[in-house]
């Protein structure tokens, strides 16, 4: 198998694509006084985590929890299912299908932040983020069943709009680093979205400027069919036993 590396330099941006075509972008350490990804994850899930490659693995009170870095580039890019996507199935650019709730978890940035999505109708706001550090508020839920969308982060004054689909960003930078969180005591799919807010040539690429946790309920269609199946079974059972 031929090993191929493509390296692109734009204002110091380096993207390396390996044999599989999958790639992740580098995350730099946080600015002085800010929290990095590991610290933020530890505050979210109340335990100790260890960096293993680009992932964070829980131990101690967080044993069993894994925070798994998703692909930023994949060929083909694919569409990531918010309900059951996982690493290797699609890059984190375009998302599909589900009832989601999103909550702001951190903001380490001078700019104010807005968070929403675009399903082909332009920017739809989920919430404005109030506060800073991990003392932030902002949350919303929306039914995106049957939809395709890109996540969108904006400055509070609506400048510097960045899409999860980096091919749409005017500076060519991927502004979103995504993790899937597994091992939590929930049947929801849990994701962490870490955003970089500044354009490529002024960016410190710490990807902690806005952190959003997204939770997706199991597919309503699946629940509906499960419920319907249960009713059919119950009706058949009633007929057999005559009540």
- Measured from the CB atom, the residue of 72 and 219 that comes closer to Ca ion is 72
- Measured from the CB atom, the residue of 209 and 219 that comes closer to Ca ion is 209
- Measured from the CB atom, the residue of 27 and 184 that comes closer to Ca ion is 27
Nearest residue to Ca ion by CB is 72
H or E element, residue 233? helix 220-241
Least distance to Ca ion from the beta carbon of 226, Å?
A: 33
Give the x-and-dash track for 158-177 against Ca ion (CB under 5 A).
----------------x-x-
Q: Does 206 bind Ca ion (CB under 5 A)?
A: yes
The site for Ca ion, by CB under 5 A, has a size of 11
Q: What residues from 38 to 77 belong to the interface with Ca ion (CB under 5 A)?
A: 72
H or E element, residue 127? strand 124-132
CA distance 210 to 193: 8
CA distance 40 to 53: 17
Q: Which residues bind Ca ion (CB under 5 A)?
A: 72, 92, 108-109, 174, 176, 196, 204, 206, 208-209
């Amino acid at each position: 198998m031929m090993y191929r590396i493509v390296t692109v330099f734009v204002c110091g941006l380096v993207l390396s694509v390996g044999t599989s075509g999958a790639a992740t972008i580098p995350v730099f350490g946080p600015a002085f006084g800010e929290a990095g990804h590991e610290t933020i994850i530890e505050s979210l899930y109340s335990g100790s985590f260890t960096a293993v490659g680009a992932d964070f693995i829980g131990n101690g009170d967080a044993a069993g929890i894994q925070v798994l870095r998703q692909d930023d580039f994949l060929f083909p890019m694919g569409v990531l299912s918010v309900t059951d996507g996982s690493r290797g199935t699609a890059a984190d650019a375009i998302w599909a299908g589900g009832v989601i709730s999103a909550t702001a978890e951190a903001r380490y940035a001078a700019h104010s932040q807005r968070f929403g999505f675009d399903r082909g109708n332009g920017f739809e706001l989920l919430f404005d983020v109030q506060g800073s550090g991990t003392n932030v508020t902002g949350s919303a839920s929306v039914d995106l069943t049957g939809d395709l969308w890109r996540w969108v982060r904006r400055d509070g004054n609506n400048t510097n709009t960045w899409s999860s689909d980096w091919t749409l960003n005017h500076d060519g930078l991927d502004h979103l680093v995504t993790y899937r969180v597994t091992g939590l005591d929930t049947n929801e799919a849990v994701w962490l979205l870490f955003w970089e807010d500044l354009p490529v040539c002024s960016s410190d690429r710490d990807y902690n400027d806005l952190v959003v946790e997204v939770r997706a309920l199991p597919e309503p269609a699946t629940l509906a069919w499960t419920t319907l199946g249960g009713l059919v079974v119950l009706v058949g059972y009633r007929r057999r036993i005559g009540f």
